[in-house]
Amino acid sequence: MSAPLSGVRVADLSRVLSGPYATMLLADLGAEVIKVEQPGRGDDTRAWSPPEAGGESSYYLSLNRGKRSLAIDLASPEGHARALRLCAEADIVVQNFRPGTADRLGLGFADVAAVNPDVVYCSVSAYPDGHPEEGQPGFDVVLQAESGFMAITGEPEGEPVKVGVAIVDVLTALNTSTAMLAGLHKVARTGAAEHIRVSMLGSALSGLVNVAQAALVTGTEPERYGNEHPSVVPYQPFQAADGKVLIAAGNDALFGKLCELLGRADLAEDPRYASNALRVTNRETLLPALAGRIVEWPAEKLVDALRTAGVPAGNIRGVLDALRHGGSSVTAQLEHPTAGTLTMPRPGFRFTGSETFAPLPPPFLGEHTDAEQEQE
């Protein structure tokens, strides 16, 4: 069966993570994605190594499968004309230049809409329109600091800590891909070009969901809870006899099952722990009581017993361990000209009857420049 986005053409003028990840998701869904890169240098992530495979940085490889690469100097008259022709033929154009740069290059929304009146044009920036820092550049770690992500991450008595992956870029990419697909739907209905603006800060604050809402409701800054949860108890790692396990008893019924399995049914009957709100209030007495029984169990045996009882629980795995444990349900392979067989994480969605993993390897810099020029 044809892929969901078969026939959709994307002109990708973005770089680093948020834009390229968003367009790779579209490529996984079957869109034709044409990546425009600076000659001789290319996407910044091409230089972000080690590690690398086959002479290509793993960072770049992780974000660019399923695409073709054109090396175009956007600042030259010839390069500008070529890029504008590409945009004129695209269903979607996405860029994450610093605000104002695309306009100066003659590739802003007005320029593209003039030659492509039903285009979906997406601008990705660090800060939203009207924000005090509007127009400022921003990398993920800066936005983790500015959004509050760092303030809520880490141990209660420790320093603010960034998340171990570029989480703001990832959230921005997911917002971008969602908005671009909605843009296609709107343009199909109206026939008019659409300019979508996605910001990293807006994506981060939206991604804080319940934490952000709690801050607004209470008028107070959220605290850091380390691996515990501010609103659910028990919902955290515990030390077992030979390792750590993660237990998430997110409601009263699950708490009761946990207590029964541990031989502490009395805790579920204790009025101090009769509801989640009370367990949150009295966590300082409850958690040691649970921990005293959990530490007697071998980790694997406890996880198996909890899952059998219907209590969400898991092992605390390393990234490589998690990928290998999931096997083909979470990874897929493609052939790369220099790296050989390349195993990559799958996207987090599947379509019945359609493969949702772009088989083309991440392209070399400018690999398709000449072929595309011949088609013109």
Q: Could you please report the per-residue DSSP string of 31-49?
A: -EEEEEE-TTT-SGGGG--
pLDDT at residue 372 above 70?
no
- Residue 163 confidence (pLDDT): 97
Residue ranges of the domains in the chain? 9-208+330-375, 235-319
Q: How far is CA 268 from CA 189, 271, 291, 302, 323, in A?
A: 55, 8, 15, 19, 36
- Contact between residue 144 and residue 160 where contact means Cβ atoms under 8 Å apart: no
The rounded distance, in Å, linking the Cα atoms of 63 and 288 is 44
pTM for this prediction: 0.94
Q: Are strands 32-37 and 52-53 parallel, antiparallel or unpaired?
A: unpaired
Mean per-residue pLDDT, 320-342: 97
pLDDT at residue 375 above 80?
no
The rounded distance, in Å, linking the Cα atoms of 117 and 191 is 8
- Residue 374 confidence (pLDDT): 52
Look over the chain and give the mean of its residue pLDDT values, rounded to a whole number.
96
228-239 tens-digit pLDDT: 999 999 999 999
295-321 tens-digit pLDDT: 999 999 999 999 999 999 999 999 999
pLDDT band at 370 (very low <50, low <70, confident <90, very high): confident
- Residue 353 confidence (pLDDT): 87
190-220 tens-digit pLDDT: 999 999 999 999 999 999 999 999 999 999 9
- Contact between residue 368 and residue 68 where contact means Cβ atoms under 8 Å apart: yes
pLDDT band at 245 (very low <50, low <70, confident <90, very high): very high
pLDDT at residue 350 above 90?
yes
Superfamily per CATH, domain 9-208+330-375: Crotonobetainyl-coa:carnitine coa-transferase; domain 1 (3.40.50.10540)
For domain 235-319, give the CATH number.
Answer: 3.30.1540.10
* Percentage with pLDDT > 90 across the chain: 97
- Residue 157 confidence (pLDDT): 94
Catalytically active residues, by annotation: 169
pLDDT band at 39 (very low <50, low <70, confident <90, very high): very high
- Residue 373 confidence (pLDDT): 59
- Residue 61 confidence (pLDDT): 98
115-152 tens-digit pLDDT: 999 999 999 999 999 999 999 999 999 999 999 999 99
**In the block, residue with structure tokens 């990234």:** 319
- Residue 2 confidence (pLDDT): 85
Q: Which of 321, 323, 361, 324 is nearest to 340 (CA)?
A: 361
